[in-house]
A and B are shown apart, each in its own frame.
Chain A
Amino acid sequence: MTKHYDAIVVGLGASGGIIATELARAGLKVVGLEKGAFYKEQDFLTKFDEIRYYCRSAMVPHMRTDPITWRSNNKKEAVVLPWASNKLGLGDPFQTPPSIGTGGGTRSWGAASFRFRESDFKMRSLIVERFSESALQDDTTVVDWPVSYEDLEPYYDKVEWELGVAGKPGNINGEVQEGGNPFESPRKRDYPMPPLPRAGADKLFTEAARKLGYHPFATPTGIATIDYKGRSACTNCGFCHGYHCHVGAKLSTHELVSAANKETDNLEIRQYVRVFKVNRDSSGHVHGVSYFDSEGNVVEVTADIVILSCYALENARLLLASGINESGHVGKHLSIHNYGWFTGIMPEITNPFMGSLQSGSVLDDLTSELIPDNEEGVLWGSPINTWTGDMQPIETVHSLPPHVPKWGKGLKDWLSENYRKLFKMYSQHSTLPSEQFYVDLDPKVKDPFGQPALRITHDWTEYDRKTVEYFMKIKRQLAREMGMKDWWEDSPTPNYHVTVHDTGTHRMGWDPAASVVNPYGEVHECKGLFAVGGGQFPTLPSYNPTETIMALAYLTSDHILGRSAVGKVEKMEVI
């Protein structure tokens, strides 16, 4: 007889890793089903390797096993996405699908760890109030969140203190803190650790920003800056985003599940398994899942609760492939970030390969509702972030300015002269969810196991272009003030349509007709089934999504365990 579990967690990343750990530590029998490896500490000693992790994408699935197709609109036939359409394996490795293996994206992330702003939870109301209903396009599906900043504050606090986030507070209980972000939504207490050591270029950026009247503050990061709760302090090695951490400084849920697996008898982890279907019983209650093991055998596992936590894209694919979409909202409301990359050469050596990419500062002066009135029609602002470290040589060659020769002595001279002086700025302009952009099952393309590929229908709009342009102007001002000699900008309508910040595909709400999951992540139409992560976001704010994804994961855990303070839903019957 096969074993029956209390809970199955599909994907042990940012949210699944937290939920699996919380449930197991509370005494539930949990099985974590992971498409990638269950890592060992020794695995992380191979990480200083741009060939393996960047060029050959060691931490992300390949398109030959996990195809994703893309088309710009619903009149076109989708093709396998650009990086993958190149059958020689020479696409742009930055535009990768989400990481697999224990910890998921929290192993490879750059670890920018922001809370959203109070206003981010009320995007629709605030836009309508300020600019009127007509400011939003007809096809928009922008809504307010069903939870508020106040609801999530204790969970943000938990992520920052339980898991360890480094930063400088800007607003503690309404009191603005010197040196922090003056626009920050109120927090109850400080961060547990000070920010990362400052990158060489940071001084130039903060001085220039202050001169222009802005308020730079150190980027908050999920990276230990002192030895904290068993994690070692960051060594500034500069192989960070896209790489494992070799000393365990980076906040990753791998450490959580690994410890829970070792210390309790309650968390079993099965690696290299591909879940392809959610199973229900005749009453519509979730019954378990089916997966292919690494030999391709079909295995069925049963449990009272199933948590899908395998990223917004795969979550939507699994729901659709399992025929769960009564509301018609699964896969809709796809919201992604447009980064508005801006790279330049500083007059001095900045050594952009040292330290985390987040060893610099951010401006929040123009974020979200703080965007000034403008003629371009920008409704929602973005931070201006800096990228000061973690730039390896091959990645740098891939983002050369257009006027530099691609090969020959010109390339060699340019790299020799400028590689050590690079500095980047970016923003995170959120697309507005609309009826036009969504994900669904590709009608033709299948993976090697015969399962339908995910199809993305997305294009950048005129609104996106104007928004990115508006912020490019400010980046140019900053660049001039910093004494930058030369700079180049990414297209405001870039060729990527997967961003590792893909969200919205199973949006949460209280109304089963207008959303897929409730704010605890439980799927309205299937009792016991949860779909969690960025897919829950009703709209995408302009900050990195991970801290909010982790905060929501704690909310889901509390709800399942009957500890939730948010809303009125009682402890679940199954427990």
Chain B
Amino acid sequence: MLDFQAYMYFNQEEAKTIEAIASRFIPSEENSPGAREAGAVIFIDRSLSGFYSHLQTFYRKGLALFEQFCEKKFGKQFAELSVEQQDEVLHDIDQLRAKMEPSVANIDEENLLLVQFFSVVYEHTIEGTFGDPIYGGNRDGVGWKMIGFPGAQWRYSPEQMQLGYDSKQIEIKSLADIQKLGASALKKEVLK
């Protein structure tokens, strides 16, 4: 029943575009997963259905404008472009961003909206790659594996804190593991 990646807010096409953008921000390589494998798009979709629900319209308007930009430049939707072309699109908008002091007072102006859309998707891609897996992104801790962060650890020993210690030896934990430990561990640590 749940073997199909369904979305709470995005339609399938929007999700495809967001995933493609995220995948250029943190690209996948052979033996080296990126934002796509992390499921950043799932993180974003769930966030838009929850904490960031006030950004739903912003995302929808931004996506439309973004696709328009791609159509104008290459005559295709973003997801249909080659990765080189995709990078070129993102690079153009990034340049626009660098030129524009993002004062953000008025989000209706087209260039500003495009730049903001870029910044927001970027920010949310980072969150969806390096945030805790309970939010739907950073699947199997792939973002944390990439950089050597062991996640939500109840403790580190003074030995592990030694200079040069290889943190990749530590089994990655999520907030789910902490809450599983839950009350019993809390009692042991705090109420002993």
- A residues whose Cβ falls under 8 Å from a Cβ of B: 41-42, 44-46, 48-51, 55-56, 85-90, 197-201, 203-204, 227, 232, 235-239, 246-248, 348-351, 353-355, 359, 389, 392-394, 397, 406-409, 411-412, 415-416, 419-420
Contact = CB atoms under 8 A, between A and B. Distances in A.
B90 A50 contact: no
Interface string B179-192: 10011001001101
Given A235-B156, A237-B155, A416-B146, 17 more contacts: A41-B190, A45-B186, A48-B175, A49-B152, A50-B130, A50-B132, A85-B104, A87-B107, A198-B158, A235-B154, A237-B156, A349-B163, A350-B163, A351-B156, A353-B150, A353-B167, A394-B130
Given A45-B179, A90-B123, A51 B190 contact: no
Contact of A248 (B25, B144, B179, B190): B190
B120 A88 contact: yes
Contacts of A49: 131-132, 152, 175
Contacts of B155: 235-237
B82 interface: no
Interface in B148-185: 148-158, 160-167, 175, 178-179, 182-183
Interface stretch (B9-17, B50-58, B68-76): B50-58
B105 to A, nearest CB: 7
Contacts of A48: 132, 151-153, 175, 178
B164 A419 contact: no
A200 B160 CA distance: 9
Interface residues of B, number: 62
13 contacts: A45-B186, A48-B152, A50-B131, A51-B132, A88-B55, A88-B107, A90-B119, A200-B162, A354-B156, A354-B161, A389-B161, A411-B25, A415-B147
Nearest to B165: A351
Given A51-B135, A238-B153, A349-B166, A354 B189 contact: no
A55 B127 contact: yes
A237 B153 contact: yes
Contacts of A45: 178-179, 182, 186
B190 A238 contact: no
Contact of A407 (B25, B150, B175): B25
A247 B143 contact: no
A561 to B, nearest CB: 30
A348 B162 CA distance: 11
